[in-house]
Amino acid sequence: MPKRILRVNMTNLESQFEDLPADYAALGGRGMTSTIVAKEVPPTCNPLGIHNKLVFAPGIVTGTKAPTSGRLSVGGKSPLTGGIKEANAGTPFAQMLARMRIGAIIIEGKHAGDDYYLLKITMDGTEFIKANKWVGKGLYGVYKDLFKEYGDKVGISGVGIAAELLGAMSGVCFNDPEGLPSRYAGRGGLGAVMASKGLKFIIVDDTGAPGVEIANEEVFSQGIKKLRDALTSHDVTKPGGALNSYGTAVLVNIINEAGGLPQRNFSSGQDEGAEKVSGEAKAEEIKKRGGTRPHFCNPGCIIQCSEVWVKPNGKDPVGVLEYESVWALGPNCAIYNLDDIGELNRACNDLGTDTIEAGDTIAVAMEGGLIEFGDGKGAIKLMDEIRKKTPIGKILAQGTEITGKVFGVTRIPTVKGQGLPAYDPRAIKGIGVTFATTPMGADHTAGYAIAPEILGVGGKLDPLSPEKAEVSRNLQFATAAIDASGYCLFIAFAILDIPEGLQGVVESLSGVLGANLTVDDVGPIGKSIIDTELEFNKKAGFTKIHDRLPEFFLEEKLPPHNTVFDVPDDDLDSVF
């Protein structure tokens, strides 16, 4: 069976499988979503209108036994940024699609009326089922219902209450291996795009799936062995290493010590309270409570940076508390209590919101006077406003920029409308260049300059030096290629330092595709993806003025280094 595209028309509730076009044969993940969006979506369309499309695409090695793969891209025109968007998640859902040889699902059209639908996909075909009984309900309870109704072996993708409000901070939610709604393609408001079409859930049952076709098993096996050896020997990715022991939140103490952990809506880069919510403190608490750590977000991951956070009695599992989530809902709001952060993370998962955007939004709401900085219980009540669909909730659901403007805040940390992640660009300037210039809006994963600037991975750079255009560009090209591959971005720590690991990645991709790729192809592959995205954004009205950080980063000195973001505009313009 050849790889296929599933085209879903929500206007008339019809779907059909199509042969994968020959020029799409080597595409996966972000390469697939951005290519389809650029080809089929008018750049000037209303992101919540009939002409936008939502595309799901597993990566090239997703669904195989390649280590630490299992990623999926979701793409469309973003209601948050107004440009092209790719959001990425690791989930069993992705592996199921790949094993069914579905290269992409394209959701198009727009269902008239107030009904929501569930799309069920099996090897026998598709079925549309009314989903109104789950409208207005939290995803933790709904996912339990869905597994009970459709069996515990299915994969689930869905959107929550925030998406029903067409909120620009709503994400697309996937189940983790335990069935919790905790794996998110969170950024850019793509959940609102899904809801705007009348689609609430996608259920995938891969019973009888043929599996991923591998053109050259020998080259593939040779490649994944090299990558596995690299991942299991590098200090960041190996068993018992930093990510395996403490999860991504190992960065809390590291970035705080570097003076780049934003506190109280980006007004300081350091606070002694941050240690209370560090990865080390969290891992100890999980052990005491009987949660799970380490853990994988999808089967086959050997880094296992995930976890399951639970309440003090070991009950009510939340899922993973990632570094970005802990920071956004914690120090950025001056909240230094893991239980409050855990409940805020639960609220985000339950309501279907991106944790980064939610944390940035709460922080500007605090600055705007809705509640005080540090008021964890008050922050949880703000999330309840979204649940109740109140006017305040509808404002908050639109994200950081709109909330900040409504409440008269001038320090609004966004680029292209999207809230900044957990690194202050005044203290770590390479990541600031990425925030400013990526087509995705402020996004740390687009070109993770933290690796060389803070962690000394792939070289060592001074984080306070403004000369970062070249390193950001190169990392953005490499990242786009990884996003297309189906591998987790965290393989970058090992392959930047261990050339054999990078060679293994390239060989594994060649093995699946039947190609003869070399390491020298990685940059051009990533560049071609980003060129496609930049062209879409240009047609949507973006100019170099959109590749800028907010003014306060250039003028307000950040303690403790008391520096500003001083990368010249000409350098930002030179990235692409």
Q: Which of 384, 407, 424 is the last residue of a domain?
A: 424
E-state strands within 109-254: 117-122, 125-130, 155-158, 172-174, 183-185, 199-204
Helical residues (DSSP H) of 374-521, grouped into ranges:
376-388, 391-396, 400-406, 429-437, 450, 469-485, 491-497, 499-513
Residues 147 and 51 in one domain: yes
Q: Which of 146, 176, 204 is the last residue of a domain?
A: 204
Residues 490 and 511 in one domain: yes
Characterize the bridge pairing of strands 306-308 and 292-295.
Answer: antiparallel
Residues 105 and 50 in one domain: yes
- d(Cα 145, Cα 241) in Å, to the nearest integer? 37
CA separation (Å) from 514 to 95, 373, 488, 506? 20, 55, 22, 12
Does 499 fall in a domain?
yes
- Summarised one tens digit per residue, pLDDT across range 120-168 is 999 999 999 999 999 999 999 999 999 999 999 999 999 999 999 999 9
- Summarised one tens digit per residue, pLDDT across range 433-478 is 999 999 999 999 999 999 999 999 999 999 999 999 999 999 999 9
- Summarised one tens digit per residue, pLDDT across range 157-212 is 999 999 999 999 999 999 999 999 999 999 999 999 999 999 999 999 999 999 99
- d(Cα 145, Cα 545) in Å, to the nearest integer? 47
Residues 504 and 416 in one domain: no
- Give me the CATH number covering residue 546: 1.10.599.10
- d(Cα 73, Cα 482) in Å, to the nearest integer? 11
Residues 255 and 349 in one domain: yes
Query: How many other CB atoms sit within 10 Å of the CB of residue 562?
Result: 12
How many DSSP H helices and E strands does the chain contain?
23, 16
Does 479 fall in a domain?
yes
Positive/negative CA dihedral, 76, 80, 86, 87: negative
| Segment holding 306, helix H or strand E | strand 306-308
Average pLDDT over residues 110-129: 97
Does 211 fall in a domain?
no
Q: Which two tokens stand for residue 27?
A: 């595409």
Residues 443 and 560 in one domain: yes
Q: Residue 301 in contact with residue 62, Cβ under 8 Å? A: no
Residues 331 and 430 in one domain: no
pLDDT of residue 12: 97
Above 90 in pLDDT, residue 298?
no
- Give me the CATH number covering residue 373: 1.10.569.10
What's the total number of domains in the chain? 3
CA separation (Å) from 227 to 205, 238, 406, 502, 504? 30, 12, 49, 7, 5
Does 419 fall in a domain?
yes
Residues 271 and 420 in one domain: yes
- Summarised one tens digit per residue, pLDDT across range 412-440 is 999 999 999 999 999 999 999 999 999 99
- d(Cα 259, Cα 64) in Å, to the nearest integer? 41
Residues 366 and 284 in one domain: yes
Does 209 fall in a domain?
no
Residues 538 and 436 in one domain: yes
- Summarised one tens digit per residue, pLDDT across range 58-88 is 999 999 999 999 999 999 999 999 999 999 9
Of the candidates 392, 264, 382, the residue with the CA atom closest to the CA atom of residue 330: 264
Average pLDDT over residues 556-567: 98
Residues 278 and 321 in one domain: yes
pTM comes to 0.98
Residues 418 and 393 in one domain: yes
Q: Which of 404, 424, 444 is the last residue of a domain?
A: 424
Above 90 in pLDDT, residue 299?
no
Does 210 fall in a domain?
no
Average pLDDT over residues 87-113: 97
Domain assignment of residue 260, given as a range: 247-424
Share of the chain above pLDDT 70, in %: 100
Above 90 in pLDDT, residue 484?
yes
Characterize the bridge pairing of strands 155-158 and 292-295.
Answer: unpaired
Of the candidates 471, 473, 445, 441, the residue with the CA atom closest to the CA atom of residue 458: 471
Average pLDDT over residues 368-396: 98
Does 83 fall in a domain?
yes
- Give me the CATH number covering residue 153: 3.60.9.10
